A and B are shown apart, each in its own frame.
Chain A
Amino acid sequence: MTTWLIYGLGGGWGHLTRSLALARVAAHHYDIILLTNSPYAAHIPPALIPRTCQIQTIAPNLSADATRQQVLYYLQTLHYQCLIIDTFPRGLGGELASFLPSLSEQISRVLIHRDLNPDYVQSKAIRPFVQQYYSQILIPGEGDRVPLADLPQVQHTAPWLIRSAAELPDPAMARSLLRLEAPSQPTVVVCAAGEPHEQHQLGELATHLAMTFPQVTVRCLAPVCPLTCPPNLWVVHYPAIDLLQVANVVVGGAGYNTVAECQALGLPLVAFAFPRLYDRQAERANRSGYWVEHPAAAISMVRRLLPATSRADARPAYLNGAVQANAIIREYTSI
């Protein structure tokens, strides 16, 4: 069977989730190896990982050099016919800069072009590198203002989601997972992902929201309960989209997945733009969310948005760009 190797290195949930979104679709036709160093890899429920998908984890606490060596080891020893690189054309540690020129021409190379800091693109001469070593670029719902959007090998898809609409659990199940005791009450879900201090800040915000809006159910979705958040507000579940479908308003960072999931579900997202080395959350928050800069502004925005929201139990309908991407890569590689 043909194998796709997906390079999904990078911190947080984003690279892992986007890569897994593609892997879950492609695994119907191919063997998949997903390379990740996300500390959250261990939190992925086994049921979400297809039988033909192997998640190859590199320890997140390794040094940069050790990570580069492990990546190169896997890239040089594993057998695959298509190499798909998420976000970082030269690799997260620049390790692909010397590897890709030596990679057999028989192996297809595809770049998933999530938004990138233009300063990085310029300082590492990303554009000529991509022009030379990638024959296909997929932009997963990030629009045409990302730095490499004008290259001729670009194709756009809808945002990539870990669940297609038909795969979402029943809304009653989602309410149960969120412990919604009064289903008629509006629900605000705070997605406390990101750096520890950001989770801390969002946990605190969830507490303030619960105190400010006693007639609203507030839940804080986080891998571990932030110290600033009472345990009765905390929920742990992956993927978030399972639960967000029954929310009225979502509060969180403007990372790729949170924005994409809210957009797919038609949910208002009150978004903080957290600073990232490569991503531009401010651009995304400005484009797709209700961008706020401090907790008080977030509370005001939630107050403004709540009356205008209502949730129906009808299943949401949306396109999953990962399905489109799978078809495009299959056609391109003809394998």
Chain B
Amino acid sequence: MQVRFVYVDPDTRELQESILETPIAIGSDAAQLPENFGTRSMAHLVVTGAQVAGFHALITEANQRLTVTEQGNNCIWVNAVPTPNTALQDGDTLRVGEVNLQVQTNFALGGDAAGMAAGLGEGGCDRQIGFLIKRRCGRTSAVGCNYCDNGRRTTDPYYDDYAGYPGYGRYDSGYWGHSYYYDRDRYYYDPNRDNVDFTDADNASLGDERDVDYEEAMGAS
């Protein structure tokens, strides 16, 4: 999940912006920030400040929900309330030391449709794509992208489908999304191959799956 931080650097007094993929380690010393979180690589947000510890806070994501946790008894505040750990939502203000970070999860992505069609720059497209498992697009060009229809669509093509899948976005045990999340490596973004699309093999692995029309047959038992 991508998180955008907007804050004022206490030293330079300049407005800063960073967009990072979870998990995210926040602190003043890049050398103290862990490289990995479990099997995933950790993104670093280095903020200078006299009261910011080398490794001050950790932001993780589970089931599309963000949680921030203090590290080493270095206090954090969310919306001016001190807390050791709590959920983070779009628009919250996270205070780390003397730095206030505005947290955004629902933000517009850079570039208009024409720009996307022309190319998306070195970092690639920041949009969250996919239905079963949301993932960063990463394409450097919108050409051939079914998700945004070659850059012509800026809205989420699955928007209307979410209502048809109760429990969408829940991946814990007991929800239909659990098995997909469990098998996410089959179709998750592969940085080694730069493969963000379903391959033929991915399609084949889901080839036997079909939506069953539950709650439509009134003579069923």
A–B complex contacts, Cβ < 8 Å, 24 sampled? A10-B219, A10-B221, A11-B219, A11-B220, A11-B221, A12-B219, A12-B221, A37-B218, A39-B219, A60-B218, A60-B219, A62-B218, A63-B218, A64-B215, A64-B217, A87-B221, A93-B216, A93-B218, A94-B215, A123-B212, A125-B174, A128-B167, A278-B214, A278-B221
Number of interface residues of A (CB under 8 A): 33
A14 sits at the interface (CB 8 A): yes
| Residue contact A92 to B218, C-beta cutoff 8 Å | yes
B170 within 8 A of A: yes
> Distance in Å from the Cβ of B51 to the closest Cβ of chain A?
42
Q: Give 6 A-B pairs besides A11-B220, A125-B175 with Cβ atoms closer than 8 angstroms.
A: A10-B220, A37-B219, A64-B217, A124-B166, A124-B215, A278-B221
A314 touches B (CB below 8 Å): no
Could you tell me the distance between the alpha carbons of A277 and B174 in the complex, rounded to whole angstroms? 19
Nearest chain B residue, comparing its CB with the CB of A93: B215
CA distance A14 to B218 in the complex (A): 14
A123 touches B214 (CB 8 A): yes
B181 within 8 Å of A by Cβ? Answer: no
B5-29 near A? 1/0 per residue, CB < 8 Å: 0000000000000000000000000
The verdict on A122 contacting chain B, using a C-beta distance below 8 Å, is: yes
Contact A123 B176 (CB under 8 A): yes
Closest-CB distance, A98 to chain B (whole angstroms): 11
A122 touching B216 in the complex, CB below 8 Å, given contacts A11-B221, A276-B221, A279-B221: no
Chain B residues positioned under 8 Å from A9 (CB to CB):
218
User: What distance in Å separates the Cβ of A76 from its nearest Cβ neighbour in chain B?
Assistant: 19
Q: Are B175 and A277 in contact (CB under 8 A)?
A: no
Are A278 and B220 in contact, with the CB atoms below 8 A? Answer: yes
Is there a chain B Cβ closer than 8 Å to A144's Cβ? no
Please give, as numbers and ranges, the residues of chain A lying within 8 Å of B220 by CB-CB distance. Answer: 10-11, 92, 276-278
Distance of B38 from chain A, by nearest CB (Å)? 26
Majority SS at the chain A contact face: loop
Assess whether A28 is interfacial by the CB under 8 Å rule.
no
A92 touching B170, Cβ below 8 Å: no
Which A39-82 residues have C-beta < 8 A from chain B? 39, 60, 62-64, 67
The 3 lowest CB-CB distance pairs between A and B, nearest first, are A11-B219, A125-B167, A94-B215
Beta-carbon contact of B214 and A125 below 8 Å: no
Complex: how many Å from CA A147 to CA B174?
10
B170 contact set on A, CB distance < 8 A: 125
Set B212, B215, B218: member contacting A119, Cβ < 8 A: B212
A91 CA to B176 CA, complexed, in Å: 19
Identity of the chain A residue whose Cβ is nearest the Cβ of B175 in the assembled complex: A125
Known: A120-B212, A123-B176. A15 touches B166 (CB 8 A): no
In the complex, how many angstroms separate the beta carbon of B188 from the nearest chain A beta carbon?
21
Q: Which of A1-56 contact B (CB under 8 A)?
A: 9-12, 14-15, 37, 39
Q: Closest CB-CB distance, A199 to chain B, in whole Å?
A: 14
The verdict on A90 contacting chain B, using a C-beta distance below 8 Å, is yes
Chain A residues closer than 8 Å to B214, beta-carbon distance = 94, 120, 123-124, 277-278
Return chain A residues, CB-CB under 8 Å to B217. Answer: 11, 64, 277
**Inter-subunit contact A128/B221 (CB<8 Å):** no
A319-B154 Cα distance, complex, nearest whole Å = 64
Interface centre among A15, A91, A120 (most CB of B within 10 A): A120
Closest chain A CB from B31 CB (angstroms): 44
A122 to B167 alpha-carbon distance, docked (Å): 9
Question: Is A311 close to B, CB under 8 A?
Answer: no
